[in-house]
Structure 1
Amino acid sequence: PRTVFGAAVAAFLVSVLLALQLGGEFIPKLDEGDIAIQAVRLPSVSLEASLEMTKQIERCLLSMSEVESVVSKTGRPEIANDPMGINQTDILVKLKPRDTWRFPDKQALIAEMQRRLTTEVPANAYSFTQPIELRVQELVAGVRSDIGISLYGEDLDVLKEKGDEIVRVLRDVPGAADVQAQQIAGLPYLRIRVDRDALARYGVNAQDVLNAVSTIGGYVVGQVLEGERRFPLQGRLAPQYRKDPDQLKLLRITDSRGRQIPLSQLADITLEDGPAEISRDAIRRRLLIQCNVRGRDLAGFVAEAQRRVEDNVELPPGYMITWGGQFENLRQATRRLSVAVPVALALIASLLYVTFNSGRLAMLIFTNVPIAATGGILALWLRHMPFSISAGVGFIALFGIAVMNGVVLVEHVRDLRKHGLNRREAVLQGAVDRLRPVLMTATTDALGFIPMAISTGAGAEVQRPLATVVIGGVITSSLLTLVVLPAIYRWFEPAAEAETAG
């Protein structure tokens, strides 16, 4: 018994070591079949230039034989839930059937798309995801990528500087893809600083200067009545004057003596770069750094990225970093599972105690739980699958199946003891008698989950971890149930039952 029990414990400890290498993710990514590309340009780009770049992107993508159609959308109204500037474009790429591709998988196709776009249409930052995934991430996590790093602070220049440092660090982490910081600077501003001394010399009211400057965007000079409706009447400079600072300097303002004074003598006019947008969260200014993860588990990537950012990026006092996106969903789901799994195990142990009215027999059957977990972990490791919420649900289902097999065996051994068989005979006869039911249970469960485990259709990515865990667990738990439980039964048999049977 000691050898058998020791081997089972050793197998469980090995599975724990393997589990530490699995990594983790929230849920496996569903392959939607299509690709969503986000192209981001400098905030100062004009609408015409942005549209021309979008056309070049479409022509580049349509030149690939795997692409069936391309639909683009540049900018979004401010009244929308997610406003976008004209420097941002969403491109939806519909792909042809996979059997017509020149590439072995979607990741290779995306890599080729990124290479072509970077070469043929530079001056854009590209990010690749999927249409539904993109919108779900926006609604659930507030970001358009797997990971969203929020950098909080007060000074926009410091935020941009530290954000660029974080981007450089993340790009060196294995598995990082589409790393980019939110563009909060680079928008041209026309700054007009009123010279108070000059106003005093010429006797010009500051409000007159401001009214003249307002004509750049539009100054309300009256109302137009049309029945009961009223429309503001605005005066605005012609486009050729609004765009040229030298022309604006010639704008005339009348002083108190009726003289026409050029605006250049009353104010300093300069063209400067300023903030493109100012985002706030929790009443604090925020810079968002977005990053996708490819070819690596999410939890392992974030752990390494956090360590590298902490070692290489020094934040000033008052500045802080928070990690969100899918990683935040994984962390919340892990906390829920850390409550749900112990509760499920406690309920199983309680029901076993009530069934057998013996804590020792309940503990004996409960040993099936780590034995089943061993098989589930080993199956995930062999298929190179990280731990996910789907796998966690599979473990919960697996524990119920494993305990049921133990109940069937132990209850039959107890019945044989009541009929006068000694402990050794009862254990051997019980294992032989319950061999067929236990193997039938394992076989039917495994066969039932095999289609899910090898499926490649829509939604298969979520089903595969669950099925893999159940198949691996029922195999080990069924085999070891017939070996370990009979071997160590004598250690757990209640003394009262042993005396009655003996």
Structure 2
Amino acid sequence: ALHELPHLSGDDLLGDLGDALAVSELAGPLGASTGTTLAAFAPLLLAKGGTADFTRGVPVMIMLTLSVSYLLAISVVPLLAARFLKRRRNAEADRLIGLARFLGSLVYRHPRRLIAAGALLVVGSLALTPFMAQQFFPNADRPRVIVELYMPEGTDQARTAEAAASLEQAILTQADALEIHRFVGFTGPAFYYNLQRAPQAPNRSRLVITTPTLEDTTGMIRWIRAYVNEQMPELNVNVGILGQGPPRIAPVEVRVYHADEKVRSQAVEQVFSALRRVEGTVDVHHDLDIGVPSIAINVDDATAARFGLTRADVAQSLYGQSFGVVAERYRQEKDPIPLVLRSQEGTSLPLERLLSVNIYNKQGQAVPLSAVASVDTTWEPAVRYLRNGTRLNTVTANLLTGYSFSQVLEGLNHALEDNPLPDGTRIEMGGDAEGSGDANGALLTAAPIGVLLLLFFLLLQFNSFRRVGIILLTVPLATVGIFPGLVLSGSPFGFQSLLGVIALVGIVVNNAIVLLDVMDRELENGENIHEAMRKAVVQRTRPILLTTATTVAGLLPLAFSSSTLWPPMAWAIISGLLASTLLTLLVIPAVCTQLIKSGVAEPENAPA
């Protein structure tokens, strides 16, 4: 708007007529540009799921800001410009004007060469995708190391506490271990949103280690893994740092389903062995256990009935002797406190005494357990895992630095193709693969709404499918910068980078919109397409470059921030915007000279 005002006004102070003309001519293309950007963010706003909830604030903030910015651009900005802005003196000496004329001459003389060069650059950028790291969500920037410690199922909590304390003392010998918090039997307080929560279990513990810097966590993780492997092989540990995004058990999670317990265990061991051989995996574990002895007390209903007993009476007596029964509840404020009545030994009650208890009927008569029930001993898994009512077991793995979950799963698939799982076995991917799939699926579900809105705003402005198609060519042209930018900056491609690409779609089409708007005005004035496009490039190069420069300057603090969450998004936008801006000023005008010969005809029913 500020660039257009001096072009339409008088010699000194800007007049009201110049303001009105500038606003009337720019309200349409600026509105279409704002609308297309809002349309690009609509899928993020409408998507559902954990990842969408995590990033919901981004589209809300941007869409509100853009809407208010457009209203200010067509109302307050012209008023301020009319009051304070004066015509620029000696504009011919401006270097940007000289650059604009040079670009316009290139478009006028070599349109086909520019189109060919743009196509080659797009192909070349796509060839860089194999060199681009992939990561669904980056790790957090807090210098914390999380050690998840597991003992075999059935391990007493005192033994778990002893092992955790021993590992803690060993870690404290390292200079980088500034502080350690130890939690036994539960996962501790939720001090970070992404931290995985787990139910209380006597066989698990968690250590939270604070290091001086984030870089020091890498060496600490390696030392802990090496120490446990050499000095405490009985421990099952999972060592890592805090992450970003929705919580997940591990980056790589493979769920194995089969109705038969033995076949499922065989399949789990096969997946476990295959994952350990895949390059890039570490801390590979499964949730199979060695099992525990189980005692089945089979009540003879007929005999029990003769004594006036039921199975419920037997179960209640056994439970009362071991775990105890709730005799009363004491209420203090809102939370009731149960008063439990049990034997002195509780769960430590010897098996001989448990099986020799008496069962009391309603008449108060004592009936020995052996008189109404038989005892069978079996060996069975200590824990049975269910997901949606179906039994399963899980294999998990962490990733070494520089490896992505997609690389590991690709290696696992190759291994399973050479050595297939038993018949009837079904596997399901969790972890980052599931999160990425859910996030992409949510975006794809809402994407048609964004595409329809984008087409609506473009057709409303240009009333031409050909012009809309040319404008949308800016999207593949942006890939010329996105992929090389991520590779050169070392940023991984993941959900945050995808956010940047989505934002870029709404941004890069704006430059093409204002170019084609000027082109149509020149065509209406009687210019041929080559001259109209040359003038459009000359008039719009300066505002397009200044807009790009301000956008890049605003994103640079995010790109160079110490946070691990925002740089991938910022670099995707910066590199894509820089490349797209240059190609929009060259390739898009060149395409227009080949496909457009005249202005858009007014509809027959257009108002007078």
Q: CA offset at residue 313 of structure 1?
A: 4.2
Aligned pairs for 1:320-331 within 5 A = 320-331=426-437
8 Å CA contact retained: 2:463, 2:600: no
Aligned pairs for 1:180-219 within 5 A = 180-189=285-294, 218=321
Aligned pairs for 1:258-297 within 5 A = 273-294=379-400, 295-297=402-404
Counterpart pick for 1:123 among 225, 234, 242: 234
Change (3 A) 1:59 1:420: same
Q: CA offset at residue 24 of structure 1?
A: 4.1
Q: For 1:428 and 1:238, locate their aligned partners in 2 and report how far apart those are by CA, in whole Å.
A: 90
Q: For 1:478 and 1:349, locate their aligned partners in 2 and report how far apart those are by CA, in whole Å.
A: 21
Q: For 2:476 and 2:499, locate their aligned partners in 1 and report how far apart those are by CA, in whole Å.
A: 16
Secondary structure of 1:289's counterpart equals strand
2:407 maps to a residue whose letter is G
8 Å CA contact retained: 1:379, 1:468: yes
Q: For 1:190 and 1:293, locate their aligned partners in 2 and report how far apart those are by CA, in whole Å.
A: 41
Higher mean displacement: 308-317 or 427-436: 308-317
Q: CA offset at residue 193 of structure 1?
A: 9.5
Asked if 1:36 corresponds to 2:135, the answer is no
Secondary structure of 1:466's counterpart equals helix
Q: For 1:377 and 1:328, locate their aligned partners in 2 and report how far apart those are by CA, in whole Å.
A: 24
Counterpart pick for 1:475 among 578, 587, 593: 578
Q: For 1:19 and 1:182, locate their aligned partners in 2 and report how far apart those are by CA, in whole Å.
A: 36
Q: CA offset at residue 308 of structure 1?
A: 2.5
8 Å CA contact retained: 1:297, 1:386: no
Q: For 1:252 and 1:386, locate their aligned partners in 2 and report how far apart those are by CA, in whole Å.
A: 64
Counterpart pick for 1:161 among 243, 263, 266: 266
Aligned pairs for 1:5-44 within 5 A = 5-19=115-129, 22=132, 24-44=134-154
Which structure's residues are more often strand, by fraction? 1
1:122 maps to a residue whose letter is P
The equivalent residue for 1:428 is: 534
8 Å CA contact retained: 2:146, 2:240: yes
Q: Deviations over 1:275-314 (max 9, x none)?
A: 1111112222111222222321223332332343354242
Secondary structure of 1:185's counterpart equals coil
Counterpart pick for 1:301 among 383, 392, 408: 408
The equivalent residue for 1:486 is: 589
1:475 maps to a residue whose letter is L
Change (3 A) 1:231 1:112: closer
Asked if 1:347 corresponds to 2:463, the answer is no
Counterpart pick for 1:74 among 170, 184, 188: 184
Q: Deviations over 1:372-416 (max 9, x none)?
A: 232122212323433222222211221222111112222223333
Asked if 1:379 corresponds to 2:489, the answer is no
Counterpart pick for 1:147 among 252, 270, 273: 252
The equivalent residue for 1:87 is: 203
Asked if 1:337 corresponds to 2:453, the answer is no
Change (3 A) 1:41 1:446: same
Change (3 A) 1:231 1:391: closer
Unaligned runs of 5+ in 1: 99-103, 138-142, 195-206, 254-262
Secondary structure of 2:491's counterpart equals coil
TM-score (normalizing by structure 2): 0.65
- Give the percent of matched residue pairs that are identical in Structure 1 and Structure 2: 23
Q: CA offset at residue 40 of structure 1?
A: 1.1
Q: CA offset at residue 59 of structure 1?
A: 0.2
Q: Deviations over 1:209-255 (max 9, x none)?
A: x98xx8798389999999xxx98976688999927x8x999x899xx
The equivalent residue for 2:350 is: 242
Q: For 1:442 and 1:408, locate their aligned partners in 2 and report how far apart those are by CA, in whole Å.
A: 14
The equivalent residue for 1:410 is: 516
Unaligned runs of 5+ in 2: 1-110, 188-196, 300-309, 330-337, 359-369, 602-608
The equivalent residue for 2:281 is: 176
Q: Deviations over 1:416-456 (max 9, x none)?
A: 34444443333323322322112112211112111111211
1:386 maps to a residue whose letter is P
Change (3 A) 1:221 1:391: closer
Q: For 2:155 and 2:410, locate their aligned partners in 1 and report how far apart those are by CA, in whole Å.
A: 37
Q: For 1:373 and 1:217, locate their aligned partners in 2 and report how far apart those are by CA, in whole Å.
A: 69
Secondary structure of 1:178's counterpart equals strand
Q: CA offset at residue 328 of structure 1?
A: 0.9
1:375 maps to a residue whose letter is G
Change (3 A) 1:338 1:497: closer
Q: Deviations over 1:57-81 (max 9, x none)?
A: 110111111112212222249xxx8
8 Å CA contact retained: 2:161, 2:205: no
8 Å CA contact retained: 1:344, 1:396: no
Change (3 A) 1:63 1:92: same
Higher mean displacement: 16-25 or 373-382: 16-25
Paired residue total: 461
Asked if 1:50 corresponds to 2:160, the answer is yes
Q: CA offset at residue 127 of structure 1?
A: 0.3
TM-score (normalizing by structure 1): 0.78
Q: For 1:178 and 1:437, locate their aligned partners in 2 and report how far apart those are by CA, in whole Å.
A: 54
8 Å CA contact retained: 2:186, 2:205: no
Q: For 2:431 and 2:455, locate their aligned partners in 1 and report how far apart those are by CA, in whole Å.
A: 37
Change (3 A) 1:268 1:367: closer
Q: For 1:410 and 1:216, locate their aligned partners in 2 and report how far apart those are by CA, in whole Å.
A: 80
Secondary structure of 2:148's counterpart equals strand
Q: CA offset at residue 338 of structure 1?
A: 2.9
Q: CA offset at residue 497 of structure 1?
A: 6.1
Q: CA offset at residue 329 of structure 1?
A: 1.3
Asked if 1:312 corresponds to 2:312, the answer is no
Secondary structure of 1:482's counterpart equals helix
8 Å CA contact retained: 1:187, 1:274: yes
Q: For 1:381 and 1:223, locate their aligned partners in 2 and report how far apart those are by CA, in whole Å.
A: 63
Q: Deviations over 1:157-191 (max 9, x none)?
A: 33323212211111111221211111343334467
8 Å CA contact retained: 1:150, 1:322: yes
Aligned-residue CA RMSD in angstroms? 4.3
Change (3 A) 1:476 1:218: same
8 Å CA contact retained: 2:221, 2:240: no
Counterpart pick for 2:566 among 442, 453, 463: 463
Q: For 1:232 and 1:497, locate their aligned partners in 2 and report how far apart those are by CA, in whole Å.
A: 84
